Amino acid sequence: MHKHANGQPGNWKVYRKYHEKFRRHDGWYCFVVYRPHGRSGLTILQNKMVRSSDLPLLRWHGGGDHRGTEQAKISISAIF
């Protein structure tokens, strides 16, 4: 999402367990920046495919406990 309802810039969450699996299998991420409209609409503003090995430096921290792993946040500006 381009911006959260509170005006803060959007970001993506990456979970370590899944990211490591992507890396082992030479996987790709598809990052999409969008602006929501109403309840079910959206406008895609930007999109980009990125190899899992080409992501910016990830800083792992807690917060992914419900998935049994750590997480990292990636800002929109780090990708575009």
Alpha helices (H) in the chain, listed in sequence order: 16-24, 76-79
Query: Do 12 and 74 form a contact (C-beta atoms < 8 A)?
Result: yes
2, part of any domain: no
pLDDT reported for residue 4: 73
pLDDT reported for residue 76: 92
Supply the mean pLDDT for the chain.
89
4, part of any domain: no
CA gap 49, 29 in Å, rounded: 6
pTM given for the model:
0.81
C-alpha dist (Å) from residue 46 to 6, 24, 49, 56, 59: 21, 27, 11, 18, 24
Asked if pLDDT for residue 21 goes beyond 80, the answer is yes
The total number of structural domains that make up the chain: 1
Containing domain of residue 55, as a range?
11-79
Q: What is the pLDDT of residues 45-75, one digit of tens each?
A: 999 999 999 999 999 988 766 778 899 999 9
